[in-house]
Structure 1
Amino acid sequence: MERRAEHESLFEDADFPAKTSSLALSDVTPIFKLQGVISWLRPQEICKSPQLFPPDLTQAHAKQGVLGDCWLLCACTMLLKSKHLMDQVLPQGQPQWGQQGYDGSFLLRFWQRGGWVEVRVDDRLPCIDNKLCFSQCLCPSAFWVALLEKAYAKLHGSYEALWAGQVSEALVDLSGGVAERWSLPSSGEEEEEEVEVEEEEKRGDAPPARRRRRRELRLSEAVREACAVSCSFHRGAPGETGVSEQWQYHALSVLEWTDVQTVSGETECLLRIRNPWGRRCWNGAWTENGTGWNTLELAVSRQLLSSTKPGEFWVNQKEFQEEFDDVTVGYPITSEGHLQSIYTGGVLSHLQQVRGRWVRGESAGGCRNSSSYGSNPKFWLRVAEPAEVVACLLQYDPDERTTAGLKGLMKRDMDAVTTQTGEGGRGQERRHQHAIGLHMWKIEKKHLNLSRTLNKPPCACTHSHAYEREVVMQAQLSAGFHLLIPSTFQQGAQAGFLLRVYCSSPASLSAVRTREAAQPCGSEGEGEWESSSFHGSWTPGVSAGGSRNFPSHRQNPHFLLTVTYDPGATNVRVTLRQNCPESKCQAIGFHIYKVLDDEDGGGPLEGEPVESCVPHCYAQEVSLVCSLRGGDYSIVPSTYQPDLTGHFTLTVARRIHRKVVQSQENLGRAIKEVSHISVMRC
């Protein structure tokens, strides 16, 4: 009775209760099916002498449970390497079990959008058969991992929200620093990429730094031990060495990266890797009885093998390159709290950050392919002396709160689906992210001619526009002013962003005033047209809805048109051409509808069209020239009769108020590289 009364007086978190709502908000993952078998127990009900950390810190590593959050557990390795970061996330001095002042609650902190957010949780943890069912320490009586996982789940709305994610995002949330993710291409892809980069460099579209991101994977010895490094599998087919089908979409931690001498005098680079599952599951040449150890001195082999713990194994550089698909590297943070460059080992002791927004029709100008690129937010970066700079662009929903315990976050994310990552129980849905990028130009004495500047190659830029929460750019800059422009790939994409700049010397970051970026008057800023072409088809029963005489008209293809320049005269030309011999032409036409402000997308809406190319004509090509006010419109091409098969090309020309920027940006491999998320397959 006494013990029960003690438990009843302990803190119970009403914002993240010990109920099904904290486990899952949908039936997308297997977590939802566990609701009837999970019980919520406090650590003192699970074991006799609970503690936050075990005496032997090698036993403090995380072991993954039934929740697919290997991406978070790999990031937790960074905290074990840095007492400074561990104390930042899990503040010292909190009363533990059996100590005076213990009340059943713990406070943790996570970095969110430029600052640290406090999250308080109770210590009731999900269990099955009186054992933790989610993540735990290798030492069963240590609970720092389970508490951190619960606080992070509360921050995201539920445990289910942690089922899939990126290691890079968790590294940033746990450190407040920077993380980069690099692809590990095969030899054939590497050669192809090198040719592409060389061609882009000749055109001025890509700086030489891009090649390093793809190929130079060795880290400087100055930062190698302090970095948080993880590696991931994304491929569908098993490799020849150690990858099995169950490893797909799985992330692991790189604990050690060392060079050893072989008996023949050659240098062999070995990496010690830890599987969050807590078992090795590897069959390469450097497993415990592998042939690789025969190439080393016996004493060296014994020393390295003796350092491995459960769930750990060794690979060499060649195996690593061939078997893993990408690497994520978290920048080290010094004990003084400064970022350390993974490229040079230098300390980037100066930080500037600023927030901004991309607003459709105002500051969402898209990438450099678009004439409206110059309308994107612009920032001055002034560097006092030659310095190394790391700039980070982080996107977010400006209307989304960042406080802990936000219910409904996972549900809303499910409604905003854009990507799925597998079949069956492994399929996960993620919140929409735009492809974002960052470009920089050197400006002499702050004299800015925007049109002239944007038609020059940037002095530095991100690898490409990528569907990442955050993209990173590193550069060596000379003293003076630099123009920074963050952008989305698609014009009109709306989001908030945080721009952070780390610098090895004093620097300042400020928004460019409107008058500084004003366009020159006269013929140079008027009278030009920008054209875009789209290919589509009418398919019976799917997208062949016919004219407005038929209720199926809404099924026709529709194309979004954003008008940003309204000179009060003709500003739009639309041409519809059917791709067939003239003898087989059908009656075609199109309508232009206004997209209402409260609608999300470019579909045809209720109401009358604002412009129409009618009547439908038996012609290979029909066109319309009109004047549209600023805003979003939907162009709906159709045949007169429904359920007719045909292919067409829609060409849209818009009048623009500035010269077209000469650039050929594309997403390239970025879509393939960034659309994966690290998920454990149970």
Structure 2
Amino acid sequence: MTYERLNERRRDESTYLQRKWSPFLDQNFLQSSAKSYQLYRRTMRENVRRMEPCMTDPEFPENDSSLYYSEKPYRFLTNLQWMRPNEISPNAKVRVDGATTQDIIQGELGDCWFLASLAALAKRQSFLNHVLPLGQDANSPAAAMGYYYVRFWTFGEWTAVIINDMLPTRNGRLVFGQCLDRNEFWVALIEKAFARLYGSYEAIDGGFTLESMEDLTGGLSVQYDLGDDAHPDLFSRMTKAYKNNTLMTCTYRGTKDKRGLISLHAYSVTGAFRIHFRGSIIRLVKIRNPYGDEEWTGDWSDSSELWAEVSLAEKRKIGYRKKNEGVFWMSFEDFKSYFGSIKFCTVGAVSAPGRTWKDRWRVTQTKGFWQRNVGSHRREARDFAFNPQYLLTLLQPDDYDRERDDWSQEGKCDLSFGLMQQDKRHFRSEGRENLYMAIDVYQIDGKPPSKLGPEFFRDRSALVFSSGKYINRREVTLTASLSPGNYVIVPSRFYNKNGGRFLIRIFSENLIEFNQL
């Protein structure tokens, strides 16, 4: 079987499975993993004897076209050799004693935005095993022949990416993402699959952790600003997110007083804790640098004398250890001061053998299309009415806990909205850019039988929530606390000369009704 036929069959068979086993349509996460992966394993078992070891992938060959698309050699990535893991290390394994956050080391590629999310994912093994399924080791016929199956979430569906295990090296060492243990290769394999998904390694150089967290989980990412504008309940949200296994990342804004931090660099947030210190309670944040070294050197760093005043029991409770592995601690106040933003990725309910995580989110999603030269931005009510419109009905308020929830949440529904356009990263080499877009929520009485007209949108009093300014990100998000009732959701873009597909997702605690008008 040729490489082209293998991927063709994978695409044809997985299309049906992705629809049927979509992880956010109230299906079991393990089922969505197992069904498509079983197809791959059966296909490989049936054909592996007729396949050559580590065949060249025509869509991602072992040459410069898979490294970069620029006219000039990208970052002087020349004279590289493509090698298999067993050529790099005689004891090569996909995982050595499992996969952990501390395994990940960034190489010469500027994909910290992806590796920081991968490090956060490593704390949630059921998700990591969904991206890179277990059973792909030396005992697997496919892996022994040099083939691996990796999965990413793309525009509302899980997409399987099959790769060979030829990896770019220099002098026998990996040049891009890698594991701290030279015998371990799960990081390099996932990174290669991600590069293949988008066409080249250069295509994944630079990006947003908001996006990579979604690509690895299918969740919805929301960003909160830090500094003086930080939300007053942010630390409580961080502790709750940590307990619910929500992924978190942050970006260092860059100041003159760096204290070991790297400007414009993405980090993983791996915990938020309260500890007893000098007779009071202090809030600490646990952070990891994807480089695997270069840690914070201020208060609560590994070398800080403040740790001497913390009891051994407190240290054990929060998992503190003094070791140069890229993991460090900061006070919450320093964290807000030095970092510019924090990103949360909520991923819904997940099941795995022997263990269950469950948070409270249900997910409703639908795809739509903007026609060229039809519709407009919200300032033009006449044309704005020609945008797609959706009726949202909230049937009942969220559960309310007087001890846990703020009084203002009683009788309300907490929702998160995401409006996503098709990713232009695939077309980086062609210079394509994202559309400027926004999403708005209008409250209405009753259920209209058809789309609302311009008269409704001229009166802006019905607008209850908006994502704000039109921005050219892959996805814009909006969090809102709404009363039960009826609402109209309008996705729009600022310039209508270009059409395009979009995806709307709504995360809610309870079931909702959502239909296009």
TM-score w.r.t. the length of structure 1 is 0.60
1:362 aligns with 2:343: no
Deviations 1:132-153 (A, max 9, x none): 1110112221111101100100
Distance in 2 (CA, whole Å) between partners of 1:240 and 1:152 is 31
What pairs with 1:647-662 in structure 2 (closer than 5 Å)?
Answer: none
Q: CA deviation at 1:21?
A: 0.7
Kindly indicate which of the two structures has a greater share of residues assigned to helix.
2
Q: CA deviation at 1:251?
A: 0.6
Gaps of 5+ in 1: 1-5, 191-210, 338-344, 417-431, 513-682
Is the contact made by 1:280 and 1:312 (CA closer than 8 Å) also made in structure 2? no
Distance in 2 (CA, whole Å) between partners of 1:509 and 1:485 is 12
Computed over aligned residues only, the root mean square deviation of the Cα atoms, in angstroms, reads 2.9
Which amino acid is 2:456 matched to?
R
Residue from 243, 251, 255 that aligns with 1:232? 251
Which amino acid is 1:224 matched to?
Y
Q: CA deviation at 1:97?
A: 2.9
Is the contact made by 2:301 and 2:328 (CA closer than 8 Å) also made in structure 1? yes
Q: How many residue pairs were aligned?
A: 441
Deviations 1:178-237 (A, max 9, x none): 11122223x3xx3xxxxxxxxxxxxxxxxxxxx84x9735425443241211111243x4
Residue from 179, 184, 206 that aligns with 2:221? 179
Residue from 3, 8, 12 that aligns with 2:56? 12
1:77 aligns with 2:77: no
Residue from 334, 359, 365 that aligns with 1:319? 334
Q: CA deviation at 1:468?
A: 1.8
1:34 aligns with 2:77: yes
Q: CA deviation at 1:108?
A: 0.8
SS at match of 2:122: helix
Which amino acid is 1:233 matched to?
Y
1:216 is aligned to 234
Distance in 2 (CA, whole Å) between partners of 1:333 and 1:352 is 11
Is the contact made by 2:443 and 2:462 (CA closer than 8 Å) also made in structure 1? no
Distance in 2 (CA, whole Å) between partners of 1:10 and 1:29 is 26
Is the contact made by 1:242 and 1:281 (CA closer than 8 Å) also made in structure 2? yes
Distance in 2 (CA, whole Å) between partners of 1:322 and 1:369 is 40
SS at match of 2:96: coil
Greater mean deviation of Cα atoms: 47-56 or 307-316 = 307-316
Is the contact made by 2:273 and 2:285 (CA closer than 8 Å) also made in structure 1? yes
1:452 aligns with 2:456: yes
Distance in 1 (CA, whole Å) between partners of 2:72 and 2:296 is 30
Residue from 461, 471, 478 that aligns with 1:473? 478
What pairs with 1:186-205 in structure 2 (closer than 5 Å)?
Answer: 187=228, 190=229
Deviations 1:245-273 (A, max 9, x none): xx22211111221111112x221111121
Is the contact made by 1:89 and 1:174 (CA closer than 8 Å) also made in structure 2? yes
What pairs with 1:155-174 in structure 2 (closer than 5 Å)?
Answer: 155-174=197-216
Greater mean deviation of Cα atoms: 306-315 or 142-151 = 306-315
Which amino acid is 2:484 matched to?
A
Which amino acid is 1:285 matched to?
D
Deviations 1:109-151 (A, max 9, x none): 1111111111110000011111111101122211111011001
Greater mean deviation of Cα atoms: 300-309 or 215-224 = 300-309
Distance in 2 (CA, whole Å) between partners of 1:377 and 1:100 is 49
Distance in 1 (CA, whole Å) between partners of 2:71 and 2:233 is 41
Which amino acid is 2:288 matched to?
R
Distance in 2 (CA, whole Å) between partners of 1:482 and 1:308 is 52
Is the contact made by 2:238 and 2:272 (CA closer than 8 Å) also made in structure 1? no
Distance in 2 (CA, whole Å) between partners of 1:330 and 1:261 is 29
SS at match of 2:192: helix
Q: CA deviation at 1:298?
A: 6.1
2:310 is aligned to 296
Q: CA deviation at 1:487?
A: 1.6
Q: CA deviation at 1:80?
A: 1.5
Which amino acid is 1:108 matched to?
V
Distance in 1 (CA, whole Å) between partners of 2:73 and 2:441 is 42
Change (3 A) 1:457 1:479: closer
Distance in 2 (CA, whole Å) between partners of 1:68 and 1:373 is 39
Distance in 2 (CA, whole Å) between partners of 1:281 and 1:388 is 37
Distance in 2 (CA, whole Å) between partners of 1:220 and 1:253 is 13
Identical-residue share of aligned pairs (%): 27
Deviations 1:147-194 (A, max 9, x none): 110010011110011110101111111101111122223x3xx3xxxx
Which amino acid is 2:248 matched to?
V
1:548 is aligned to none
Distance in 1 (CA, whole Å) between partners of 2:380 and 2:330 is 43
